[in-house]
Structure 1
């Protein structure tokens, strides 16, 4: 049984005439009659009574009529729904992002996307990079803004988009820190740290950097999310290593850039600011939806414009390749 045959059947049932039905469909009458006969053979029953040219439905035809009507209506609904999804009139995007991005750049990019595609439902999951990678791998997210590098065996494709400087967040009135424009990891030795919960990449990066510098970090409190960590620093529980973007709107805190250690065995080595790379990730083995592809395009355009107008937050740099001039002017 084919959809075309059901369509021919409905046309004949409504017109009660083979030639008029063929004219309505724009097909040759012999072709229509042949398809009706094939359908009757498939079903094992005649659908029309053809006595003296008077076309009426048989009991089998009466039974098929509502079913065929519903089947073709469902096909039309499916076609319309897919066209709406393809045309970005409806759908959803499940996006994961780190708290530093949720509280800064991401909000503006989401607003732009929502204005362009108001029918797309946005679901945002905030969490540490490791948690987001796990959720993305399980298929619980469509896209995620994660921190590189990822494990070699990850099934994710990544596009680096931003570099965030890392800072030591301290109370604005904390005078115990060295009076230098940059701090080193070793300046955190024996200093109480406010530490993120398990799952935050910055937790592992901070602990690893401390151990590579020859000491074990000391925690005043650990286990918080981003807002909690910053609040703990504000009340004087300790200092924290955070991305530069989260310090905006925190007048009670100041950020001191965190530098890497010199490498003595490398001639001419110098200190460089510590940073992390943010990438947009998706599953390699899952086809991208139109809605998620449109979000990536919107985000990249937003970041290009922010970089061109120098409106990226302090300590943040775009890693996207420059747009071709003709594309940018289009």
Structure 2
């Protein structure tokens, strides 16, 4: 048995609040993610921990036994973390992290939620921008770390380096409740030529993602059908959910978004590499080093075998880090 602290933290919050929604809000996680944590813990223990009813949840006999044990383990972990944080200087400080908008709504959100729980005394500053501008900001000392996207090219500046984290497919998203699925013509995959005939919600031309998709259409001699152009990330996803058109997004964006349906893009398949950019001329602060480690751990967890992303995300080897 190898219960993880993350699972125990989720279990304790649900048991204390008797409500999955309130527990998810307290832990700064999406409710589907919280439910998966509880489900994984119950599967590992081989027994149900909660009785679920419209009025809320109550502990089973097994849950009653586990609760005091979980609280002791979480208390011991907190005590150890506090002592280690004192040594590492993580009681106070800040981390300045840069990332493109497409990562801020996926990987970065998970990283920040976990970091905030582990190190609540650290100030977090986020800068959204294109990969090239983020690398420049890192080189100038305006950022401590950055998550940047590359497609074959290396965007590192003289005093920075890029550590590959993962290779991620670009997918076509449509409204889960409308469109092809509703007409009974649901596809498992879409070619670039087929995509060109579909009304699309296109990102602003400042997005790396828009540059990549425009280049793919141009290389294939195709002219896409644009329904709405110039939108930012949040607007694109909302427009798609309302059936205005489809959009090309990274696979990680679709996690925990029941209003969207993801379809594989083929012939050609498009992908991008997500990298962690860091300075080479100065060492990271303790807070930034902790953030870097948490980025690695989050990537490994999100794309672990058997997860929703396992087939569409390939994690870089540890040797590349």
TM-score bracket for the superposition, by shorter chain length: 0.5 to 0.7
Q: Provide the C-alpha distance between the structure 1 equivalents of 2:205 and 2:136, rounded to a whole number of angstroms.
A: 13
1:146 corresponds in structure 2 to 148
Match of residue 195, structure 2, among 188, 197, 204? 188
Match of residue 314, structure 2, among 292, 314, 317? 317
Please say if residues 171 and 236 of structure 1, whose CA atoms lie closer than 8 Å, have aligned partners that are also in contact.
yes
Q: 1:199-237 deviations in whole A, cap 9, x for unaligned?
A: 311101100000111123342222222110111222333
Alignment CA distance shift 1:131-1:192 (3 Å) = farther
1:115 corresponds in structure 2 to 117
Please say if residues 168 and 241 of structure 1, whose CA atoms lie closer than 8 Å, have aligned partners that are also in contact.
yes
- Residues matched between the structures, number: 230
Please say if residues 105 and 253 of structure 2, whose CA atoms lie closer than 8 Å, have aligned partners that are also in contact.
yes
Q: Kindly state the Cα deviation for residue 294 of structure 1 after the two structures are TM-superposed.
A: 2.0
Q: Provide the C-alpha distance between the structure 1 equivalents of 2:215 and 2:184, rounded to a whole number of angstroms.
A: 21
1:96-111 correspondence to structure 2 within 5 Å: 96-111=98-113
2:299 corresponds in structure 1 to 303
Structure 2 residue runs without a partner (length 5+) = 1-84
Q: Kindly state the Cα deviation for residue 134 of structure 1 after the two structures are TM-superposed.
A: 4.1
Please say if residues 200 and 247 of structure 2, whose CA atoms lie closer than 8 Å, have aligned partners that are also in contact.
yes
Structure 1 or 2, whichever has the larger Rg, is 1
Alignment CA distance shift 1:298-1:224 (3 Å) = same
1:170 corresponds in structure 2 to 174
Please say if residues 132 and 155 of structure 2, whose CA atoms lie closer than 8 Å, have aligned partners that are also in contact.
no
Q: Kindly state the Cα deviation for residue 306 of structure 1 after the two structures are TM-superposed.
A: 4.7
Alignment CA distance shift 1:215-1:144 (3 Å) = same
SS of 2:243 mapped into structure 1: coil
Match of residue 223, structure 2, among 192, 216, 225? 216
SS of 1:174 mapped into structure 2: coil
SS of 1:229 mapped into structure 2: helix
TM-score normalised according to structure 1 size: 0.60
Q: Kindly state the Cα deviation for residue 95 of structure 1 after the two structures are TM-superposed.
A: 0.6
Please say if residues 95 and 144 of structure 1, whose CA atoms lie closer than 8 Å, have aligned partners that are also in contact.
yes
Task: Answer with 193-202 or 117-126: which moved more.
Answer: 117-126
Please say if residues 307 and 318 of structure 1, whose CA atoms lie closer than 8 Å, have aligned partners that are also in contact.
yes
Alignment CA distance shift 1:294-1:185 (3 Å) = same
Q: Provide the C-alpha distance between the structure 1 equivalents of 2:223 and 2:286, rounded to a whole number of angstroms.
A: 47
Q: Kindly state the Cα deviation for residue 131 of structure 1 after the two structures are TM-superposed.
A: 4.3
Q: Provide the C-alpha distance between the structure 2 equivalents of 1:307 and 1:252, rounded to a whole number of angstroms.
A: 21
Q: Provide the C-alpha distance between the structure 1 equivalents of 2:195 and 2:301, rounded to a whole number of angstroms.
A: 37
Alignment CA distance shift 1:233-1:122 (3 Å) = same
Q: Kindly state the Cα deviation for residue 145 of structure 1 after the two structures are TM-superposed.
A: 1.0
Structure 1 residue runs without a partner (length 5+) = 1-82, 262-272, 324-330
Q: Kindly state the Cα deviation for residue 98 of structure 1 after the two structures are TM-superposed.
A: 3.0
Q: Kindly state the Cα deviation for residue 285 of structure 1 after the two structures are TM-superposed.
A: 3.7
